[in-house]
Amino acid sequence: MFFQDVPQGPPDPVYILKNAVDADKCPEKVDLGVGVYRNERAQYNELGAIKEAKKILTQKELGHDYEVTTGDAEFVRNAAAVLFGKNNKAIKSSRITSVQAISGTGSIHLAALFLSRCASFKGKQVYIGTPAWGNYEPLFNLVGLKVVKYKYYDAAKGVVDFKSVLDAVSQAPEGSMFVLQGCCHNPSGADLKPEQWRELANVMRPRKLFPFFDMAYQGLGAGLEEDAYGLRYFEEQGFEFLACQSFSKNFGLYGERCGVLHVVSEGEKVPANVYDQLRCLIRWEFSSSPAYGARLVNTILGNEELSTKWTNELITMRQRLISLRRALYSELVEKRKTPGNWSTILSSTGLFCFLPLDPRQVSTLATQHHIYMLQSSRINVSGMNQSNIERIASSIDEVVRSS
């Protein structure tokens, strides 16, 4: 008996919720939980550009050879152009080192592992604004990095608590790492405004703090270019930083595990050495990344017509999220005058927002109305659609009034 002492792992609220939704056989159940973009039929949404890219790849019969350790060079270049902008000078000057990784989560893990082995970050801590994506803390702890939490979100006002963010960057010791979600903050949907990104950079630079960008939702907030504002501003200001890019949400490639880690560094030989270390870490940990998702993305980004189709589809997704937010707000506030402050529905961006519901109300919605969201009251806006939104609003109204 070798494994008697293996303890249970901590529960994952997202998957507990998913199991509860799957177990509920009510035909009218509503899943506002897991962070996947759903279409009007409440189903996974395969993009038309992906469908076409699949046909092109089928014809090419590329087979299933290993991908090179650091990923397909053209794919990572195209991915960098999405994040940093097509004509970004840093890409051309090779200040940016990009390697393929196993989607956003795998990029964050690789980045954390890399930082944990860099001499400059020895004894340094990772600052995470709360509420946060639940996977950050375990991902950093896994490689021995300690996490410090500070308040990111002002729940009463439904906006970023910018004073608290500034306090955190003003007080953190030199060399601390700050995880910054570039757009569509998970779970709050509350993002920094351009002037706040600029102010943040101004405070972080003299204090020699290290930005760790997480870009999991580019294109679903204010637009592909707009969503990258903060990251691009930090790059223009000459920061060294890293960015974890996921194509799960904006290409609908969740299961293909497709993403890129970009490291922006300074110094003559530095980018080459960074690249070499990443190559080693990838080789030692997982050898190379999955090829198929990257081939799909590359087929789209390398083809003007398909690229336009993709960006138009992203616009449609984004506009649908906005109109669902308006519809829910109107159902609750204008039609039903539901008690409470529902302004976060309109003020947040992307896939998520918090509703002003307590855990007991969230449970009642699940058990009595078959409407599921995270205990924190975070909803996935795309889980709503024209056929369920009225029922969602009337159930919320009923639960709020009866508690």
Is 131 or 271 the residue whose CB approaches ligand PLP more closely? 131
Whole-angstrom CA distances from 202 to 197, 220, 239 are 9, 27, 11
Secondary-structure percent of the chain, ordered helix, strand, coil, rounded to 5: 45, 15, 40
181 binds ligand PLP, rule: CB under 6 A: yes
35 binds ligand PLP, rule: CB under 6 A: yes
Q: Of all residues in this chain, which one has the CB nearest to ligand PLP in the complex? A: 104
- The answer to whether residue 92 is catalytic is no
| Active-site pick, 191, 214, 227, 397 | 214
234 binds ligand PLP, rule: CB under 6 A: no
186 binds ligand PLP, rule: CB under 6 A: yes
Report in angstroms how near the CB of residue 226 gets to ligand PLP at its nearest.
18
Stretch that binds ligand PLP, among 97-105, 203-211, 260-268, 390-398 (CB under 6 A): 97-105
245 binds ligand PLP, rule: CB under 6 A: no
Backbone angles phi, psi at 32, to 5 degrees: -110, 25
259 binds ligand PLP, rule: CB under 6 A: yes
With tokens 């779970």, the residue in question is 187
- The answer to whether residue 249 is catalytic is yes
Q: CA 82 to CA 76: how far, in whole Å?
A: 10
The residues, any chain, with a CB within 8 Å of residue 329's CB and separated by 6 or more, are: 342, 345, 346
Report in angstroms how near the CB of residue 297 gets to ligand PLP at its nearest.
12
The distance in angstroms from the start CA to the end CA of the chain is 51
3-class SS at 283? helix
Is 15 or 238 the residue whose CB approaches ligand PLP more closely? 15
Is 104 or 290 the residue whose CB approaches ligand PLP more closely? 104
Residue 282 · residue 101 · CB < 8 Å:
yes
- The answer to whether residue 51 is catalytic is no
350 binds ligand PLP, rule: CB under 6 A: no
Whole-angstrom CA distances from 320 to 220, 221, 327, 345 are 10, 11, 10, 14
129 binds ligand PLP, rule: CB under 6 A: no
| Active-site pick, 29, 31, 133, 161 | 133
Q: What burial class does residue 186 get, using C-beta atoms within 10 Å of its C-beta: 0-12 exposed, 13-18 middle, 19+ buried? A: buried
- Two tokens at 319? 């506009």
DSSP code at position 36 = -
- Two tokens at 229? 């504002």
- Two tokens at 202? 């101004």
Stretch that binds ligand PLP, among 40-48, 101-109, 264-272, 369-377 (CB under 6 A): 101-109
Report in angstroms how near the CB of residue 183 gets to ligand PLP at its nearest.
10
Q: Which of 133, 197, 210, 310 binds ligand PLP (CB under 6 A)?
A: 133
3-class SS at 106? helix
Report in angstroms how near the CB of residue 13 gets to ligand PLP at its nearest.
13
Stretch that binds ligand PLP, among 145-153, 199-207, 235-243, 246-254 (CB under 6 A): 246-254
Q: What is the DSSP string of 230-244?
A: HHHHHHHTT--EEEE
Report in angstroms how near the CB of residue 339 gets to ligand PLP at its nearest.
31
Is 226 or 236 the residue whose CB approaches ligand PLP more closely? 226
Alpha helices of 264-341 — where are they, by DSSP H? Answer: 270-285, 292-301, 304-329
380 binds ligand PLP, rule: CB under 6 A: no
Give contact residues for ligand PLP (rule: CB under 6 A): 35, 103-105, 133, 181, 186, 214, 216, 246, 248, 254, 259
